[in-house]
Amino acid sequence: MDQHIQSLLNRLSCAAVTVATVTLILLFAQTPETCITDEPIAPQIRFPKSSCEATHREFVSIEKKNKRLWSTRDWRKKVDSFTELFHGIRHLGLLTNHSRVLCVSSGAGHEVMALSEMGVIDITGVELVDSPPLMERTVRPGGVCVLVVEQCSEEDLQEIKAMFQSSSLLGARNVTLFGLKMIQILLRNRIPP
């Protein structure tokens, strides 16, 4: 009797798997009539008007995605904030269109775009975490490091300066960067004797 029940259960399992497979094939093969769309499905490639459409999405190039991102109000606000910061450095005579600029911890690239829009030709943006001395090693002798950090005390400023042993402090000033109170620190890499 037990073998007869086991055989019946095996047949029922096979039937259930078959019904589930056929149901899934039918479900994905056509759009259900219960889906509401504002347009009939057209043969051209386009974005779906509902979650029920089975058409493929159009390939969007990196350039098109970037243009969408770069046109947002938040992006422009951050780029404009960096542009204002860099204009101050340009007025000090430390930045020209022919400067070679390395943006360390550049994140999304707001500062790279700001410099590019200002006309600076040679810009490299990299994302590094927790390695500020590497920034000093990449600056040529006589070159300038620009650090922007959260507002800090004089002691904190001296600790930051101590991390850059091959550079001399040119100055520090309060700045506002995309609405946040920050401190801009200028360091010049010493020329070896």
pLDDT for 117: 92
The DSSP call for residue 138 is: T
Asked if the model's pLDDT at residue 20 lies above 70, the reply is no
**pTM of the prediction?**
0.52
Asked if the model's pLDDT at residue 146 lies above 80, the reply is yes
Residue finishing a domain among 31, 59, 87: 59
Compare 19 and 180 and report the one with higher pLDDT.
180
* Residue 110 included in any domain: yes
pLDDT for 189: 85
Asked if the model's pLDDT at residue 118 lies above 90, the reply is yes
For residue 72, how many other CB atoms are within 10 A of its CB?
10
Is there a contact between 108 and 76 (Cβ–Cβ < 8 Å)? no
Q: What percent of the chain has pLDDT over 70?
A: 66
CATH number reported for the structural domain that contains residue 149 in this entry: 3.40.50.150
* Residue 173 included in any domain: yes
* Residue 64 included in any domain: no
**Of 181, 184, 1, 161, nearest to 95 (Cα)?**
184
The total number of structural domains in the chain stands at 2
Q: Do 94 and 173 belong to one domain?
A: yes
Structural domain harbouring 15: 2-59
**How many Å apart are CA 121 and CA 172, to the nearest integer?**
26
Q: Do 92 and 13 belong to one domain?
A: no
* Residue 65 included in any domain: no
One-letter amino acid of 3: Q
* Residue 141 included in any domain: yes
* pLDDT band, very low/low/confident/very high, at 131 (cuts 50, 70, 90): very low
Is there a contact between 112 and 106 (Cβ–Cβ < 8 Å)? yes
Asked if the model's pLDDT at residue 10 lies above 90, the reply is no
**How many Å apart are CA 126 and CA 104, to the nearest integer?**
5
Q: Are strands 180-189 and 167-177 parallel, antiparallel or unpaired?
A: antiparallel
* Residue 14 included in any domain: yes
Task: List pLDDT tens digits, range 48-95.
Answer: 555 555 555 566 777 787 788 888 888 899 899 999 989 988 998 989
Q: Do 90 and 143 belong to one domain?
A: yes
What are the structure tokens assigned to 26, written together?
A: 């039918």
pLDDT for 108: 81
* Residue 66 included in any domain: no
